[in-house]
Amino acid sequence: MLTKTKIYLSSPHMGGSEQDFVNEAFRTNWIAPLGPNVNGFEDDIKKYIGGDNYHVAALSSGTASIHIALELLGVSAGDEVLCQSFTFSASANPIVYLGAKPVFIDSEVDTWNMCPELLEIAIKNRLEANKKPKAIVAVHLYGMPYKADEIIAISKKYDIPVIEDSAEALGSTYKGRHCGTLSDIGIFSFNGNKIITTSGGGALVSNNEDYKKQAIHLSTQARDNAPHYEHSSVGYNYRMSNVLAGIGRGQMEVLDDRVQARRGVYDFYKANLEKFDDIEFLEEPTGFYSNRWITCIKTKSYEQRENIRLELLKDDIESRPLWKPMHMQPVFKDCLSFTNGTSEKLFDIGLCLPSGSNLTQTDLDRILNVIAKTPNLS
């Protein structure tokens, strides 16, 4: 019997030279959380996103990068931080690590990201309560840029800085500028399921060089300049290791190919599923360029979404409902939220399809055939 292999939502896709960089780390015994690969990886990212105007600190994860970013912006116990509700929990968890409180903001329908109108309503509400929010965490979800001009205008108007969660959006651009560079501090993730991976890792990006210096200081246990170990603040062990940065250097060589491949996956689904009235896609507004990290579809109803998901599962094909909004999560049930129904609806009817850059045409045809056979799909 011919056994079919499992198809994953998004799996690691090595380029070729990752192992050479890792071997070099072994050969030179740089098996440490610093070294030439870390510096090289930071340089590669910097060149990719726009060159010398930017400063990059390679850290142990995207979550760690958000944690450090919040700390750099002065977030501390009792503060409120505005956070996109429609996201992965890692956007919000670091707010809680600092003893601060997330206030969740729902999405708009054009990009599925933070709704600028609701953001302003929330800010006005919190100002009236005498609780000026310390920061805004906005997310380019599934690689689609958020409405940056509108969000930045509000950030400036009320003087509240933005942390740009670009964990899913390396390679995406907004009006020609790279996601991660649009706001005060950007973060990337190199987790195993992201568009490129170091097996686990992250980066903090800013045009403010001091943020990079402070990020490195804090992520290496906040050691002061002295021959002994002297500390005047609490630090973290959040730096990226030189071995993993070697994987990252190899992955940066193929990042553009990965973006093209994922966009190709989106184009394939769109071209072949568009004929079904029940299925809708998220289009790029003018000036928005998504890396199409994950291709998401909207279906007619919860039942239909589940039918498609379960048909795929029967054929050993992984798919997943869209992110469950943070304001619906048990862990955040006591948090304030400003909602409009958008993310709840998307959670109800949306599905993430396998989108890896390593999917073959055979894989894609197999996925398409299963979806097309879903009962009652029209």
Ligand X SMILES: *Cc1c(COP(=O)(O)O)cnc(C)c1O
Q: Which residues bind ligand X (CB under 6 A)?
A: 61-63, 87-88, 90-91, 139, 165, 167-168, 189, 191, 202
Query: Shortest gap between Cβ of 361 and ligand X (angstroms)?
Result: 27
Q: Which residue is nearest to ligand X (CB)?
A: 62
For ligand X, which is the closer residue by CB, 108 or 168? 168
For ligand X, which is the closer residue by CB, 219 or 307? 219
CA distances from 95 to 10, 71, 135, 272, 375 (A): 27, 9, 10, 41, 43
Query: Shortest gap between Cβ of 290 and ligand X (angstroms)?
Result: 14
Contact 308, 314 (CB under 8 A): no
For ligand X, which is the closer residue by CB, 87 or 107? 87
Query: Shortest gap between Cβ of 189 and ligand X (angstroms)?
Result: 3
Contact 74, 122 (CB under 8 A): no
Helix axes 255-273, 361-372, angle to 10 degrees: 30
- Of the candidates 372, 165, 169, 142, the one whose C-alpha atom is nearest the C-alpha of residue 276 is 372
CA distance linking residue 99 with residue 79, whole number of Å: 8
Query: Shortest gap between Cβ of 63 and ligand X (angstroms)?
Result: 3
Q: In what order do the strands lie in the sheet with 350-353?
A: 280-281, 295-298, 350-353, 320-321
Query: Shortest gap between Cβ of 87 and ligand X (angstroms)?
Result: 5
For ligand X, which is the closer residue by CB, 113 or 242? 113
For ligand X, which is the closer residue by CB, 266 or 279? 266
For ligand X, which is the closer residue by CB, 44 or 168? 168
Query: Shortest gap between Cβ of 62 and ligand X (angstroms)?
Result: 2
CA distance linking residue 282 with residue 23, whole number of Å: 41
Residue 352 region by backbone torsions, left for phi larger than 0, else alpha for psi between -120 and 50, else beta: beta
